[in-house]
Amino acid sequence: MSPTGRRALASLGPVLLVVIALGNLVLWIVARPGDLPTTRYVGEFFGVEAVLLLSLSLVLTTLLTPIEHAFGGLDRVGIWHRRVAVSGVVLLAPHLALVKSPPSQYATAVGSGFGSLALAGLVFLTLWAVAPSMRAAKWPGPIRHLAGLSHERWVTAHRLTGLFVIAALVHGAMVDPVLHRSTTLRATYLVIAIVGTAAYAYRELFARFVVPDYDYTVVETQRPNGTTLDVRLEPKRQQITFVPGQFIFLSLGGTFGWQRHAFSVASAPSDRVLEVSIRSAGDFTSELHEKLVPGTPAKATGPFGGFDHRLGGTEQIWIAGGIGVTPFMSWIRSMDETFDRNVDFYYSIAHESDALYLDEIEYAHGAHSSFDPHVLYSDRDGQITAEQALAGMSPASEVWVYMCGPPGMMKALSQGFHKLGVPTSHIRWEQFNIR
């Protein structure tokens, strides 16, 4: 598929989500039974719309390749998963406020119990998901506690989301008077329930057998500084195939318990040895930095991601912040005589001692005159700005920007580029901090 076609496909997913959500609204307007008060009917609509969105959020966790392509990368799928799930939980508030009157003649203790279970579980998991992005110091103690819990614990608990969505689906089927009076809306609700339940069952029970795993062994570990671990892995049999800029889920055996974490690949697709660089930033990665040794068995799952400079035009800016240099190294190591982009590459790190891959970056500059690297040390040069990166590049509307680094830095730069005239569609940055 051509770059233009791939860019068009990457916008299909969000459009479909909006169409499905609005389509359900239209259906409820057209198929409304005539014997329910408007307030109650609107309340029941909010409830069904909520479970629709929550079911769609489960579909977005399936790791299916067509879904990833329809959003332009798994990081974008994750962003929309969060948006859709949070929107679904928010819609439960007007649902609860409006369905109290008149009481449903179909309400039972069992049906109400399923609803209470779903509400409590979904609200708890949502608060846990958004707590790290809140100003936790100003919130009650329980929220501050959730914000401080490790990402690994949240991932484990987050897998329960599907059970709470199923409880919500059962609750609606049992107590919603609209579904008992409209065959059309009841059939639609059944489809929503089947899709959501099937997506959750697939993700938890079958995805591991569909998404390929590749067996590797750690053959070398290096610690170039106090926070970075370079890991080189050799395939036991078949090696994983990937496009430069993609990432994998890597799980390690032994004392690490096969926990699965996402890491960008630093090696080129032609390399037999797979390389990832890991920054010590949490409980798990700190343990890796301290204890990972050659000989540890590993599994690489994937690849995933749509971070691909080949989709952009001729004039490009690449910006790496800290360990965000990793996917760019895969691009740089894959450069050959066909490389036809004019690139200003900005590598921003806090201190000179934090720099990685400088020799290879300089070698690529010598081999490709259109590749112009700039290494910036924030303790000496300050933070890179959009104005600085765009200097000498005109017009801004024809520049393509690719970034990977700390979320705050990426967001500020993205806003800066947009204000200077770079189209939003020309700005691509990896967004893994999507909890």
* Contact assessment for residue 269 and residue 241, using Cβ atoms and an 8 Å cutoff: yes
Fold entry, domain 309-429: Rossmann fold (3.40.50)
- Fold classification of 213-304 is Elongation Factor Tu (Ef-tu); domain 3 (2.40.30)
What pLDDT, on the 0 to 100 scale, is given for residue 127?
Answer: 79
CA distance linking residue 281 with residue 198, whole number of Å: 35
pTM of the predicted model as reported, rounded to 2 decimal places: 0.85
- Report pLDDT for 95: 95
The span from the CA of 114 to the CA of 172, in Å, is 9
pLDDT confidence of residue 140: 62
- By C-alpha distance, which of 143, 106, 102 is closest to 126? 143
- CA–CA dist 282, 110 (Å, integer): 42
Q: Burial letters for 139-160: b for 16+ Cβ neighbours within 10 Å, e otherwise?
A: eeeebeebbeeebeebeeebee
Helices (H) and strands (E) in the chain, counts: 18, 11
Note down pLDDT in tens along the chain; length 435 residues: 556 666 677 789 999 999 999 999 999 999 998 878 899 999 999 999 999 999 999 999 998 989 999 998 888 999 999 999 999 999 999 999 998 766 666 778 898 899 999 999 999 888 777 766 655 555 666 665 665 665 667 677 788 899 999 999 999 999 999 999 999 999 999 999 999 999 999 999 998 888 889 999 999 999 988 889 999 999 999 999 999 999 999 999 988 888 888 999 999 999 999 999 999 877 788 899 999 999 999 999 989 988 999 999 999 999 999 999 999 999 999 999 999 999 999 999 988 888 899 999 999 999 999 999 999 998 888 889 999 999 878 789 999 999 999 988 999 999 999 999 999 999 998 876 554
Return the pLDDT at 158.
Answer: 83
